[in-house]
Amino acid sequence: MKRILVAIVSLVFILPGAGAQDVTPLSLKDCMDYAMKHNYSVKNAQIDVLIQQAQNNQTLSASMPHVNGKVDITDFDIAQKSFIESGTFPIPGKTPVKGEVDAFSLSIPWTSSASFTASQLIFDGSVFVAVKARNSVLELARLNGKITEETVCYNVFKAYNSLVIAYRQYDIIKKSLVFARSMQHDAEVLKESGFAEKLDVDRGNVQINNLATDSMRIANMLDVSEQILKFQIGMELNKRIVLTDTAVNDRKQTTMALVNEPEHYENVLTYNQLKLALKLNEYNLNRYQMSALPTLSAFWSFGYNNGYMKFKQLTLNNWLPSSIIGVSMSVPIFNGFMRKNQVTEAKLNIEKTKNNIEAVKQGIDFQVSTSRTNLKNAILQTQSQHRNLDLSNDVLELAQKKYKAGVGSSMEVTQAQTEMLRAQNNYFSALLDIINAEADLKKALGLMKP
């Protein structure tokens, strides 16, 4: 029973619910579907995909035309002066002095201009590679979201089935408590009639107290566990739920088929994640290599400018047009070996990612092998514990018959019931091992899907 209690305490996963007043039946698939809509990790993963789409659009905008408008109005409050040799040009009110300079201003008090500039990047190696890689970056974001969904489904699978087992265990304890109280009543009647001793009554009271304590403790833990499940998925805590996939011991055929499921690396999301990371690292290397090529862009600027003595003359019709059309080329020559070191770093990251891929493949092999072995052992253990449970039920039934026939003692019944409870605990513990091993194997094989 201790392992079942530990499993209940450790439930921190999700379980969707229904309305505040009605009880809604929920299957395991219902829980997973609910998690895909309400689990906050899944929500954030979906937002990450949208963020990546926005970032991709930002990258794409670098290859599109850029148009800017500009309007200037300038008041030369104190205009800058220019200097020439005195007498070069006649200046009103100024007598030329040989060997000196004259200061004068060529600016008028007010000037204004209005223009717009259009530019188009023709070729930039780094931008070209970034645009080419944007689909792979978006795919990586989506894959990260799928990994999050897989993790949530893994947790839901274990939590749901563990909770099913815990509730079944709780029901058995309640039934055992009812039976123990019935036996206690019979013992008290027999004691009053002189056919039973006080020891038999006390022994029954001890058993009832233990079962009642266990029953209350598990009931409280189940309630807390359910609240934790609801909290994890953002569910209102006052909603009531009931689990419907309760036949965990009837999935033996499915479980046995899973043991023989073939292994494919391509089904494992972490493997695909690293394959995409390798592709992106290769794009990164290509980007640094392309940065050695010249950058070419075209531009066109068109506008009007005006000059006047007073601000109120701004609207005078003396605006003059101007236009500039050109092509600009920037040629990288030397940047202090930065590009060389960037290329070296990119190559090393590619090598590192390749090593990580091989390590993940080894890890998948190890996880699949270990999970298969654990699942086989859990199946064998469950079969053995099920036989023990059948035997303990037979022993308890025989002890009850003997007790009712007057040829058996209450101690014999109590011991048989205790052994039956122990056999049930062992059986459900073995079922819990199957659930954990099945979840681990499905995840290792990449079969844990919403």
Domain boundary among 284, 306, 331: 331
Q: Are residues 306 and 396 in the same domain?
A: no
**Contact status, residue 204 vs residue 176, Cβ threshold 8 Å:** no
Residue 355 pLDDT level (bands cut at 50, 70, 90): very high
User: Would you mind telling me the total number of residues written for the chain in this entry?
Assistant: 450
Residue 219 pLDDT level (bands cut at 50, 70, 90): confident
Q: Report how far residue 345's alpha carbon sits from residue 339's, in angstroms, rounded to the nearest whole number.
A: 10
Let me know if residue 261 belongs to a domain.
Answer: yes
50 pLDDT above the threshold of 90: yes
What pLDDT shows up at residue 9?
42
Rounded to an integer, what is the distance from CA 430 to the centroid of its chain? Answer: 30
Stretch 393-408: mean pLDDT, rounded?
Answer: 78
What is this structure's pTM? Answer: 0.79
Residue 129, domain extent: 2-62+124-293+335-445
CATH of the domain at 86: 2.20.200
Let me know if residue 429 belongs to a domain.
Answer: yes
What pLDDT shows up at residue 354?
96
What pLDDT shows up at residue 327?
94
What pLDDT shows up at residue 189?
61
Which of 161, 168, 223, 150 shows the shortest CA–CA distance to 28?
161
For residues 183 and 143, the model is more confident at 143
Query: What is the pairing mode between strands 240-243 and 23-26?
Result: parallel
Beta strands (DSSP E) in 76-224 are 82-85, 101-104, 110-123
What sign for the dihedral angle of Cα 427, 13, 152, 2? Answer: negative
End-to-end CA distance of the chain: 31
Among 17-26, 70-79, 171-180, 417-426, where is mean pLDDT lowest? Answer: 17-26
187 pLDDT above the threshold of 70: no
Burial (CB < 10 A; 0-12, 13-18, 19+), residue 416, is buried
Let me know if residue 405 belongs to a domain.
Answer: yes
The mean pLDDT of the chain is 83
Domain boundary among 331, 355, 379: 331
Q: Are residues 103 and 176 in the same domain?
A: no
Which of 37, 67, 26, 19 shows the shortest CA–CA distance to 303?
67
Q: Report how far residue 188's alpha carbon sits from residue 317's, in angstroms, rounded to the nearest whole number.
A: 118
Give the max Cα distance, the chain.
147
Among 169-178, 193-202, 231-240, 250-259, where is mean pLDDT lowest? Answer: 193-202
444 pLDDT above the threshold of 90: yes
Q: Report how far residue 70's alpha carbon sits from residue 152's, in angstroms, rounded to the nearest whole number.
A: 53
Residue 267 pLDDT level (bands cut at 50, 70, 90): very high
What sign for the dihedral angle of Cα 324, 329, 333, 336? Answer: positive
Residue 4 pLDDT level (bands cut at 50, 70, 90): very low
**Contact status, residue 9 vs residue 225, Cβ threshold 8 Å:** yes
Query: What is the pairing mode between strands 295-308 and 320-330?
Result: antiparallel
Give residue-wise pLDDT tens across range 326-339. 999 999 998 889 99
What pLDDT shows up at residue 185?
63
Q: Are residues 150 and 89 in the same domain?
A: no
Let me know if residue 169 belongs to a domain.
Answer: yes
How many domains is the chain partitioned into structurally? 2
Q: Are residues 94 and 119 in the same domain?
A: yes
Q: Are residues 42 and 143 in the same domain?
A: yes
What residues have CB less than 8 Å from 381, skipping those under 6 apart?
430, 433
Let me know if residue 133 belongs to a domain.
Answer: yes
Q: Are residues 385 and 242 in the same domain?
A: yes
| CB burial string 80-102: b at 16+ within 10 A, e below | eeeeeebeeeeeeeeeeeeeeeb
What sign for the dihedral angle of Cα 68, 73, 77, 81? Answer: positive
Let me know if residue 270 belongs to a domain.
Answer: yes
**How many CB atoms within 10 Å of residue 189?**
11
Q: Are residues 394 and 379 in the same domain?
A: yes
Q: Are residues 219 and 86 in the same domain?
A: no
- In the block, residue with structure tokens 């309305």: 19
Query: What is the pairing mode between strands 23-26 and 66-75?
Result: unpaired
Let me know if residue 175 belongs to a domain.
Answer: yes
Rounded to an integer, what is the distance from CA 76 to the centroid of its chain? Answer: 60
What sign for the dihedral angle of Cα 429, 434, 440, 443? Answer: negative
Domain boundary among 277, 305, 331: 331
Residue 268 pLDDT level (bands cut at 50, 70, 90): very high
Query: What is the pairing mode between strands 66-75 and 101-104?
Result: unpaired
Let me know if residue 450 belongs to a domain.
Answer: no
**Which residues are 307's β-sheet partners?**
111
CATH of the domain at 22: 1.20.1600.10
Stretch 99-105: mean pLDDT, rounded?
Answer: 75
Q: Are residues 102 and 195 in the same domain?
A: no
Q: Are residues 259 and 364 in the same domain?
A: yes
Which amino acid does the sequence have at 306? Answer: N
**Contact status, residue 7 vs residue 114, Cβ threshold 8 Å:** no
Residue 200 pLDDT level (bands cut at 50, 70, 90): low
For residues 219 and 21, the model is more confident at 219
What pLDDT shows up at residue 188?
67
* Eight-class DSSP state of 238: T
Q: Are residues 286 and 138 in the same domain?
A: yes
What pLDDT shows up at residue 19?
40
Token digits of residue 306: 């005006």
What pLDDT shows up at residue 107?
77
Token digits of residue 166: 């815990």
Q: Are residues 75 and 99 in the same domain?
A: yes
**Contact status, residue 142 vs residue 49, Cβ threshold 8 Å:** yes
